[in-house]
A and B are shown apart, each in its own frame.
Chain A
Amino acid sequence: MLGRRGLMAAGAASVMAPRVVGAQGAAARTLRVIPQANLTSLDPVWTTAVVTRNNAFLVYDQICAQDAAGAIRPQMAEGWEVAQDRLSVTFTLRDGLLFHDGEKVTARDCVASIDRWSKRDPFMQVLQPAIAEVAALDDRRFRFRLHRPVPLLLEALGQTQFPCFVMPERLARTDAFQQLREAVGSGPFRFLPNEWNPGQRAVWAKNDRYQPRQEPVDGLAGGRVPRLDRVEWTIITDPATSANAMTLGEQDYWEYPLHDLLPVMRRSRDLVVQQRLLEGTYGICRFNCLQPPFNNPAIRRAVAMAVDQRDYLRAVAGNEPDGWGVCEGVFTCDTPLANESGSGILKTRSIDRARAALREAGYAGERVVLIAPGDYPQINALSLVTADILRRLGMNLEIVATDWGTLVQRRASKEPVERGGWSVIHTTSQGLSLTQPVTHLFLRANGPNAWFGWPEDAGIERLRAEYVDATDAAERRRVAEALNRRAMELMAYIPLGYYWQPSAWRRNVTGVFRAPATVFWNIAKG
């Protein structure tokens, strides 16, 4: 629909028609995107920020990648060969791969990139003791030499949570804890550094020399075909302004619309509002297992008995039942390891029974400090629902309302609440990270090295190690059920279910497909 301003502009433009036709053509091939956050860093190894990872998917390519079903398929690799003794895996690169600076992609670039990424990726760090060496054999082949078989090697290399992106060797040799200033990859789009204004704009141009795979796109696997000349991200921090910009056609694609604004967006005939990511976002209520009262597992379990996930999910994502889902296990629902062994406690959903359990557990009125980040609407909503439950249970609650920056610092404190510590925090996680024990941050129970809250449980750690060595699906499933059971006994965190985070785009944007991450290849603008 052409608005009044559009008509006025068109009238003025008719005077200088040829120039404008060209400009309109260029505009038609430019996708204007409101990203979920400001792109502050270009280095996907240095920071785990999702927005940086989304930028990396435009710029870089992966050796192998996840399809929509979660299987690992070749991407830059032509294929791989596992030795008969399973003690080496040799990868062969596709021919004709070029970096944006014109240099050929070689096996040495892959080895250097794997080396830098391995130093930061928690999944790879689990596998590292079994890896003897990664070495280039020639320009197109490199080999993993292993001390013992590593069944999860491909899953690690092709994962989406912390992907292994291939960069030129000269960049990949940078210390993994130092930030790269350049973004030179071999992916379908080139980053334009001169047009980067952090906080306002980031721009990518089509990589004309990119050679996509011939298979149809499937999740992050298959042909990554750049169909746009430019992708322009404009940072708009205010959700209402973003919604207005989408409605008026000033922007084409909004990655994470605020749930409150979805009904307004859905009413617009010019907009499509749909789920794009394959997994939902999972809520987590984490206890500090080191300090009273939540150093007592019985008290943690008592609180879990009062939780009804639907209250949390409505608070975050509203009343539309297709906007969220109950998931009363520790693994992402509808994935191979999802199960509810021992999850009966989460089906109690009774304040009275929880109160009785709390009494039995010996709660003696210890102060409970719950930190809520006001600048993070979803996590804040989860925090306020827990606060309400704790109050109704009669716990001695203090809510600390703060910002996310302060929360991430304070949650690192192991001190008692009287000395700046904490008792309960909340966070969210992409479902993708919770599909298996190796990447499941909140499941770890290795005491001081576990995620904030620092639970310690030999049983969980033993099961996790068993999972790493498991060779078949049935064995993995058995371990996953045992892990869920043990996690429910330990209750280091309460799973709060998941909500969908839809995206919105103008109706003239075509080729949008579902994937584990927000990517812009295969998308066109009509």
Chain B
Amino acid sequence: MFAYVVRRVLATIPVMAVVALFVFSLLYIAPGDPAAVIAGDQATPADVERIRASLGLDRPYLVRFGAWVWDILRGDLGTSIFTNLPVSTMIAQRIEPTLSLMIVTLLLAVSVAVPMGVVAAWKQGTLVDRAVMAFAVLGFSVPVFVVGYLLAYFFALEWDLLPVQGYTPFSRGFWPWLENLILPAIALGTVYIALIARITRATMLEVLQQDYIRTAKAKGVGQRAILFLHALKNAAVPIVTVIGIGIALLIGGAVVTESVFAIPGLGRLTVDAILRRDYPVIQGVVLLFSFVYVLVNLAIDLLYTLFDPRIRY
């Protein structure tokens, strides 16, 4: 097992290298010029050129790529073109809100979606099942920002129950922290809940047809124990896989959710950096996201062994 984990962690290195090369090349060929944005309308072409040179943007592709990789190997993600702050500092400033949003969303989604899916499978064909499936279709179809605006309208503007925007760090108390995350987590979690609920239902339906479930019923095991101890545990592998895949969905959705609820997270940092062509920041954030994604996949693979002892690495 340990050897497997080490192997998988080492395997992230070539993956990250490919991501780095891809991201850098893509940004290199993408249109846009940060020097022109900085210089403003009144600048002469010579001024723009001098700014470009001072930022090192006039150097050839290979030189720039080499310098960037060398810096990364030394643990330096570079410096933002616009703010002059280290990219690592900017990421550190933004990681807590995004992490908080993702954790709350994940907890909310799993605690709502899995029981929903289980109950829908158990009550297959009934009104409850149809209601869950209708919610799942709706959750998939309505964009995150629409859900976000509706929640903000009712819970903040109309009923004044929750704040409409912003983020309070965890260090300033649990409730102030959570208060700002409830609406964004529901907005971001809706599509995730729909996804997990559907997969849970489908997998549970398959498991509930198995012989050992029939045997358990024949032995007089209670309905709750059958559903949550026997069936759900055996259905867990595909569910956990979907939860893992959904992390990517969350990262994408966080960009929109953070904008709608003015949460200063990594999603907004990425969008702002892209619009301004702040290359070091874009490269740093994308590398971080891909690293997280690789680690999440590793964690899911390891979780398989918990749910299914037949899986060995």
Contact = CB atoms under 8 A, between A and B. Distances in A.
B90 interface: yes
Given A198-B90, A199-B264, A404-B275, A427 B41 contact: yes
Nearest to A404: B275
Given A5-B163, A200-B93, A240-B149, A47 B268 contact: no
A405 B164 contact: no
A198 B165 contact: no
A3 B152 CA distance: 15
B262 interface: yes
Nearest to A34: B262
Contacts of A429: 41
Contacts of B37: 404-405, 408
B40 interface: yes
Given A198-B82, A449-B44, 11 more contacts: A4-B161, A5-B161, A5-B163, A47-B38, A162-B42, A199-B264, A403-B275, A405-B31, A408-B36, A408-B37, A409-B32
Nearest to A39: B83
A246 to B, nearest CB: 10
Contact of B42 (A4, A201, A441): A441
Contacts of B31: 402, 405-406, 409-410
Interface in B150-165: 152, 156-157, 159-165
Interface stretch (B45-53, B62-70, B190-198, B234-242): B45-53
Interface string B240-281: 000000000000000000011110100011011001110000
Interface residues of A, number: 52
B32 A181 contact: no
Contact of A234 (B38, B41, B161, B166): B166
A410 B156 CA distance: 43
B41 A41 contact: no
A436 interface: no
A46 B272 CA distance: 20
Interface string A104-126: 00000000000000001010000
B93 A197 contact: yes
B126 interface: no
A375 B44 CA distance: 25
Given A408-B33, A408-B36, A409-B36, A248 B160 contact: yes
Among the interface residues A3, A47, A175, A408, which one has the most CB atoms of the partner chain B within 10 A? A408
A476 to B, nearest CB: 21
Given A46-B38, A49-B40, A236-B262, A244 B152 contact: yes
A449 B276 CA distance: 25
A513 B271 CA distance: 34
A9 to B, nearest CB: 10
Contacts of B141: none
Nearest to A181: B84
A40 interface: yes
B94 interface: yes
Contacts of A41: 38, 82-84
A241 B84 contact: no
Contacts of B261: 241
A47 B32 contact: no
A451 B40 CA distance: 11
B209 interface: no
A48 interface: yes
Nearest to B258: A237
A240 B165 CA distance: 11
Among the interface residues A242, A404, A409, which one has the most CB atoms of the partner chain B within 10 A? A409
Contact of B164 (A6, A241, A404): A241
Q: 5 closest A-B pairs (Cβ-Cβ)?
A: A48-B40, A200-B264, A40-B82, A409-B33, A405-B32
16 contacts: A6-B160, A40-B83, A41-B38, A48-B40, A48-B41, A197-B94, A198-B90, A199-B272, A200-B93, A235-B262, A237-B262, A237-B271, A240-B260, A375-B275, A405-B37, A409-B36
A177 B164 contact: no
A237 B164 contact: no
B133 interface: no
B18 interface: no
A360 interface: no
Contacts of B48: 412
B277 A236 contact: no
B183 to A, nearest CB: 11
Interface string A1-45: 001111000000000000000000000000000000010110000
Interface string A449-469: 101000000000000000000
A234 B262 contact: yes
A179 interface: yes
B276 A405 contact: yes
Contacts of A245: 164-166, 262
B225 to A, nearest CB: 42
Contacts of A122: 42, 44
Interface in A408-451: 408-410, 412, 427, 429, 441, 449, 451
A238 interface: yes
B11 interface: no
Contact of A198 (B40, B85, B167): B85
B163 A250 contact: yes
Contact of A238 (B44, B262, B277): B262
Nearest to A247: B157
A238 B257 CA distance: 10
Nearest to B46: A449
B54 interface: yes
A449 B43 CA distance: 10
B144 to A, nearest CB: 12
Contacts of B83: 40-41, 198
A248 B262 contact: no
Contacts of A214: none
Contact of A244 (B36, B85, B157): B157
Contacts of B42: 48, 122, 162, 441
